[in-house]
Amino acid sequence: MTPASRSAAKANTTPSPSWAYSESFVADDDTMLLARAASRQLALGSASQGVTSALTFLASLLQAKAVVEVGTGAGVSGLALIRGMARDGILTSIDLETEHQVAARQIFVAEGVPARRVRLIAGSALNVMPKLSDGAYDMVVVDGDPLEFVEYVAQSQRLLRSGGLLVLHHALWKGLVADEANEDDETLIIREALQAVQDMEEFTSTLLPVGDGVLVAVKA
């Protein structure tokens, strides 16, 4: 990449008015704002408004009854998913940090979500996911360690039912995935994960430029 093309690529990362408008199109309500505040208190990043509205939309589209989430955080994405899922749907959310899940549970209580609808599992996703049932899930939403994305994709392929959705957050990784000159570990692994999804014949995928990038793939 030439210096000129690098400068052009850098300029293209500046949010456009249209992008900003679409990101804020679905406004946060009080409970979502509470979840975002909890994320900041724990020094965690959280899915943007564009991403949370997309998660709610996708879960609603499927009327999802069983969803796996890798990366509970303080409950921002989980709250978005629960809002779109079927009334009897169960969210299984995995996170290494118990403290994060305590915060997320408080958010779900504030939303009035029955405890039976959220299964919070503290532990490594790569230890937990292999114990979950094959073909039993409508959605797998990945917002975990970027260095493990390839393994998450492999596990998701097994866990999803036919017609189920794989959702990878941070698919553009701070705008670096599109920069061919960037060879940071996270960037390389995320590129590898995206390619792995494209190479799987049973997945049909698209890459959405919302938030930090969202890959959505439907399993045949």
Q: Are 108 and 89 in contact (CB under 8 A)?
A: no
- CA separation for the pair 21, 32 (Å, rounded): 19
Would 99 be classed as within a structural domain?
A: yes
Q: What is the pTM of this model?
A: 0.92
Lookup: tokens for 103: 């915060």
For residue range 89-148, what is the model confidence (pLDDT) as tens digits?
A: 999 999 999 999 999 999 999 999 999 999 999 999 999 999 999 999 999 999 999 999
Q: Please report whether residue 17 resides in a domain.
A: no
The answer to whether position 32 is within a domain reads no
Q: What is the domain-level CATH number for residue 210?
A: 3.40.50.150
Instruction: Identify whether 29 is part of a domain.
Output: no
C-alpha distance from residue 188 to each of 3, 45, 57, 138 (Å): 21, 21, 29, 28
> Pick the catalytic residue: 100, 105, 169, 219?
169
Decide if 100 is catalytic: no
How many domains does the structure of the chain reveal? 1
